[in-house]
Amino acid sequence: MPRAVYPGSFDPITYGHIDIVQRAKTIFDELIVAVVTNPSKQTLFSLEERRKLCEQALKDEQIDGIQVITWEGLVIECAKRYQAQAIIRGLRANSDFEREFQMALTNRDLNGNIESVFFMTSGEYSFLNSSIVKEIKSFRGDVSRFVPSVVEKALEQKFRKT
Amino acid sequence: MPRAVYPGSFDPITYGHIDIVQRAKTIFDELIVAVVTNPSKQTLFSLEERRKLCEQALKDEQIDGIQVITWEGLVIECAKRYQAQAIIRGLRANSDFEREFQMALTNRDLNGNIESVFFMTSGEYSFLNSSIVKEIKSFRGDVSRFVPSVVEKALEQKFRKT
Amino acid sequence: MPRAVYPGSFDPITYGHIDIVQRAKTIFDELIVAVVTNPSKQTLFSLEERRKLCEQALKDEQIDGIQVITWEGLVIECAKRYQAQAIIRGLRANSDFEREFQMALTNRDLNGNIESVFFMTSGEYSFLNSSIVKEIKSFRGDVSRFVPSVVEKALEQKFRKT
Amino acid sequence: MPRAVYPGSFDPITYGHIDIVQRAKTIFDELIVAVVTNPSKQTLFSLEERRKLCEQALKDEQIDGIQVITWEGLVIECAKRYQAQAIIRGLRANSDFEREFQMALTNRDLNGNIESVFFMTSGEYSFLNSSIVKEIKSFRGDVSRFVPSVVEKALEQKFRKT
Amino acid sequence: MPRAVYPGSFDPITYGHIDIVQRAKTIFDELIVAVVTNPSKQTLFSLEERRKLCEQALKDEQIDGIQVITWEGLVIECAKRYQAQAIIRGLRANSDFEREFQMALTNRDLNGNIESVFFMTSGEYSFLNSSIVKEIKSFRGDVSRFVPSVVEKALEQKFRKT
Amino acid sequence: MPRAVYPGSFDPITYGHIDIVQRAKTIFDELIVAVVTNPSKQTLFSLEERRKLCEQALKDEQIDGIQVITWEGLVIECAKRYQAQAIIRGLRANSDFEREFQMALTNRDLNGNIESVFFMTSGEYSFLNSSIVKEIKSFRGDVSRFVPSVVEKALEQKFRKT
């Protein structure tokens, strides 16, 4: 009964991430979405805000049985702690493959028992990421095709404040 | 009578940009250079300084009939407002194709009536961008091969101040 | 009144090619589809078969005013002969950019008055090319999502023979 | 109990392929190695020779419970026939990502119920493929680091004949 | 008797850098490691700390005859000042080739007498860079496989402070 | 006194190859151009024709002290036989980096004492290779900017025959 961790910044979660969650669920019995901190990147939403948006978005999309956690530390430690056999990564046409490779090989160096497993995002979301969503919304553009409505509302509030 | 918008940070304009302007002019009757703000990037020159440098540089290179504007917002809205059929992008050997694709597909999602049209930079300027020019000049290097003299002077003043 | 040549093997024409024709038509008043020979590649369809399939497919899709020609020689000579200002190329996520660049720069070396102009294929057809269509059909797979019905029938006949 | 098909030419099987088999086994209860025909590529070994080499090599490496089959047709049909939930693909630093994407998206178009799942080859085998092995052996070079001894012997016999 | 400069941020030096130093030494009689400032990047270690770590690490690895210097300015000026015929760069699988090309071509523009010469990092260190080391260490992960012990200790002190 | 081998198909030699020869000569005292056979590629010119064209072209360009040899076998064996410390490779913007990496790592596996050393082709020849030259000439196009006149004449004769 394979269990997997799907780590990411999720700043905020998009339909691209949700697509990967659904694909990974066809293979893994248990899936843990791990919202992680990245000391070298500044995020728009706080760690807890990002976790809540993931939880709410997955609920609104009626995807059940997904645990959403936050994690401050190495992803490989998170996988170990939650006894996962795999770390899920989504590949898009514009993925930074080399960065993905670097992370996967580094994680393998750190713990050889946990596999990095890659799924391919739907063609529809192939060029979608959190940054472009934030960029469009910062200019008051429409992002309803890219993120669930709970996320769109959160983005609106964020940019209203600034 | 096709009209096009050529958006960019132009921080500052280089001979690579000017090369694209000249190529696009062979196809488009009217060309609008749109100096845009990018909330996530800090620029060396202010929006208005960048606009003036574009205007002056194009004038010095004796390229007529180019309107230079500033725009704060989505590029696709700029194209719509100026009734352009196309958004011009320059491709270099070291272009971030994926970023270009992402922008073009996102713009197409936002407005399907405006095409992204790509021109290829001259081989001579194939690895030239504004960042490398600023980096060289910050170390007092010679950039006269890369930018018009009005831009070189502006860079000198900028780095003298700092 | 800019005129453009859109060259290719079109072995056979796919919805991806047709998508580019439609995009190019928004900018260019006259568009010539040039079915070219490539001495180093063997084709499934003859030059004349490919031309006829292009003509029929464009007609079936109700795209008017497109001239379809065959050309044996350098593309740049074709553009010159038909007094075109531009050579159209489609970019897909899996385009061989370097090959495109090489051809564009070589064409520019051979004739500096004709521009290579790139359009981006619809995301839907972003990974579609003639080879994958032939591969699927050679195994009796369904290709109706990828090519017009006239092309599908021609492929069926071709593979029945072999 | 997820089941997966790992398709390929395996002409011949290398330690890189075997590495992927072992990684996939940590996630999938049942794994089927499918040696496929590719009409557009000529192989050094016959379909049956390739199947036997896979079988023997996996046995020599003491990897149990792997079914090795041959398949002439679309990979997606093979996965369907064997009731697999996933198609396994190995990613190397020099993978042709675009080709992988094209195949995965095409397979998804043809059957949305079967996922393409990617594993990363060990760094050690990151630049290894069957072609380089054949090239080295054709010049009588040593390939014992790259393929099991049963494969090395088969290569020796093949090149002795020619 | 060719002499070369090997420039970099070395923030901090890793086994990947040391691997390149050893390879370059097989070709160049004299090798100068130049720790450079990069106005647009913030470093974890100061220029002088980085120089000392390079010096100590190379000494600990018993690599003799390497001069370690600091340089504030264009790399090409450094090469000229030290009468080097070449600038050494390491290529990894995840090198930013375009950035490397841009720098090499720009340096060639600035001084045509100094060649950029590229060496390939060992497969073992192919995905290793200073950033990933800092990221792992910031989470208290083990980096002893990636950097000499003197560097590991310096990283520990750095992150203890923060 | 470092010695290097510069291997390639040279089918035929172009100004791009000659550019690399000149750059490598600034670092290496002795340079051997090795015209190699590649069992999997068909060449336009015979091994001996290619060697003669290299020799004549280098002579016409007044580049002295270059030995031109033919080699049937592994490149690494060639380097060993000629007691070279390095194998030279040219990098162009459209190099197949992964293929280059694969060859370099494989050569390192086969003999760790010989380094692969990469030089960057002049921007002018950045997209030039033998294939494009043959393609243009097969259509009677002008290739005098890309190859020395002795090569151009040989190409003319070759295509006249066919």
List pLDDT tens digits, range F40-59. 778 999 999 999 999 999 99
Cβ pair B82, B116 in contact under 8 A: no
Angle of helix F149-161 relative to helix F47-60, nearest 10 degrees, comes to 150
Q: How far apart are CA B13 and CA B1, in angstroms?
A: 27
DSSP 3-state of E42: coil
> Is F79 domain-assigned?
yes
Mean pLDDT of C90-103: 73
> Is D21 domain-assigned?
yes
DSSP 3-state of E71: strand
Q: What does the pLDDT read at residue A65?
A: 85
Q: How far apart are CA D5 and CA A115, in angstroms?
A: 18
Mean pLDDT of E23-49: 92
Model confidence over D17-43: pLDDT tens digits? 999 999 999 999 999 999 999 877 789
Stated length of chain B:
162
DSSP D65: S
Cα–Cα distance list, E125 to A73, E21, F117 (Å): 23, 13, 17
**Best of B19, B23, B94, B120 to disrupt the C interface by mutation (most C CBs within 10 Å)?**
B120
Closest CA in chain A for residue E93: A98
Average pLDDT value for chain A: 90
> Is B138 domain-assigned?
no
For residue F119, give both structure tokens. 């030089």
Cross-chain Cβ contact B74/A145 below 8 Å: no
When CB atoms are compared, the residue of D101, D117, D119 closest to A27 is D117
Q: What does the pLDDT read at residue D128?
A: 86
Residue F15: alpha-carbon gap to chain centroid: 10
- Catalytic status, residue A81: no
> Is C139 domain-assigned?
no
Q: How far apart are CA E72 and CA D49, in angstroms?
A: 62
The count of domains in chain A is 1
Q: How far apart are CA D124 and CA D23, in angstroms?
A: 14
Residue B146 main-chain phi, psi, to 5 deg = -110, -25
pLDDT band at D50 (very low <50, low <70, confident <90, very high): very high
Active-site choice (E25, E116, E130, E137): E130
Average pLDDT value for chain F: 90
Q: What does the pLDDT read at residue D19?
A: 96
Q: How far apart are CA D131 and CA F129, in angstroms?
A: 22
Q: How far apart are CA E87 and CA D159, in angstroms?
A: 43
Domain that holds residue A84: 3-126
Q: Is the dihedral of CA F109, F110, F113, F117 positive or negative?
A: negative
When CB atoms are compared, the residue of A73, A76, A101 closest to E127 is A101
For residue F134, give both structure tokens. 């043959």
Q: How far apart are CA F92 and CA F8, in angstroms?
A: 14
Pick from B125, B118, A102, A135: nearest CA to C116 = B118
> Is E117 domain-assigned?
yes
DSSP letter string, B88-112: EEEE-TT--HHHHHHHHHHHHHH-T
For the ranges B69-78, C16-25, C29-38, E37-46, the lowest mean pLDDT is seen at: E37-46
> Is B33 domain-assigned?
yes
Q: What does the pLDDT read at residue E149?
A: 97
Assess whether pLDDT exceeds 60 at residue C149. yes
Q: How far apart are CA C130 and CA C42, in angstroms?
A: 13
Which are the catalytic amino acids of F?
17, 41, 92, 130
Q: What does the pLDDT read at residue D78?
A: 95
Percent over 70 (pLDDT), chain C: 94
pLDDT band at C106 (very low <50, low <70, confident <90, very high): confident
Model confidence over D68-113: pLDDT tens digits? 999 999 999 999 999 999 999 998 765 666 677 778 878 888 888 8
Q: What does the pLDDT read at residue F110?
A: 82
Active-site choice (E25, E50, E51, E92): E92
DSSP 3-state of F87: strand
> Is F144 domain-assigned?
no
The response to whether B146 counts as a known ligand-binding position is: no
Q: Strands D86-91 and D66-71, how do they pair?
A: unpaired
Cα–Cα distance list, E153 to A28, E12, E129 (Å): 40, 11, 17
Q: How far apart are CA A27 and CA A1, in angstroms?
A: 10
For residue A126, give both structure tokens. 């192939």
- Catalytic status, residue A160: no
Q: What does the pLDDT read at residue D130?
A: 92
Strand-pairing partners, residue B86, are B4, B115
pLDDT one digit per residue (tens) for chain B, 162 residues? 689 999 999 999 999 999 999 999 999 999 999 999 987 778 999 999 999 999 999 999 999 889 999 999 999 999 999 999 999 999 876 666 667 777 887 888 888 899 999 999 887 787 788 988 998 898 888 899 999 999 999 999 999 865
Prediction pTM value: 0.86
Assess whether pLDDT exceeds 60 at residue D162. no
Q: How far apart are CA A51 and CA A55, in angstroms?
A: 6
Q: What is the CATH number of the domain that holds B22?
A: 3.40.50.620
Q: What is the 3-state secondary structure (H, E, C) of C21-75?
A: HHHHHCCCCEEEEEEECCCCCCCCCCHHHHHHHHHHHHHHCCCCCEEEEEECCCH
Model confidence over E110-128: pLDDT tens digits? 888 899 999 998 877 877 8
CA angle F94, F95, F99 (to 5 degrees): 140
Question: What residues contact residue E133 under an 8 Å CB cut-off, 6+ apart?
Answer: E12, E14, E143, E146, E147, E155
Strand-pairing partners, residue E119, are E90, F117
Measured between CA atoms, how close is F67 to chain B, in angstroms? 32
Assess whether pLDDT exceeds 70 at residue A98. no
pLDDT band at C51 (very low <50, low <70, confident <90, very high): very high
Cα–Cα distance list, A118 to A8, A68, A82, C22, D87 (Å): 13, 19, 19, 35, 12
When CB atoms are compared, the residue of B94, B141, B142 closest to E102 is B94
Between E149 and F96, where is the model more confident? Answer: E149
Q: What does the pLDDT read at residue F99?
A: 73
- SS3 percent helix, strand, coil of chain C, rounded to 5, is 45, 20, 35
Pick from D73, D75, D67, D29: nearest CA to D51 = D67
For residue B10, give both structure tokens. 């132009």
Cβ pair F50, F13 in contact under 8 A: yes
Cβ-Cβ pairs closer than 8 A, C with D, add up to 34
Q: What does the pLDDT read at residue E93?
A: 66
> Is C142 domain-assigned?
no
Q: Is B140 on the interface with E (CB under 8 A)?
A: yes
Interface of A with C in 88-117 (CB under 8 A): 93
Q: How far apart are CA E88 and CA E101, in angstroms?
A: 13
Q: What does the pLDDT read at residue A162?
A: 56
pLDDT band at C38 (very low <50, low <70, confident <90, very high): confident
Cross-chain Cβ contact D74/C127 below 8 Å: no
Q: Which residues of A touch B106 (CB under 8 A)?
A: 127, 132, 136
The response to whether A73 counts as a known ligand-binding position is: no
Cross-chain Cβ contact E77/B132 below 8 Å: no
Give kind and range of the element (H or E) at residue E134. helix E130-138
Cross-chain Cβ contact C23/B105 below 8 Å: no
Most trustworthy range by pLDDT among C93-97, C144-148, D122-126: C144-148
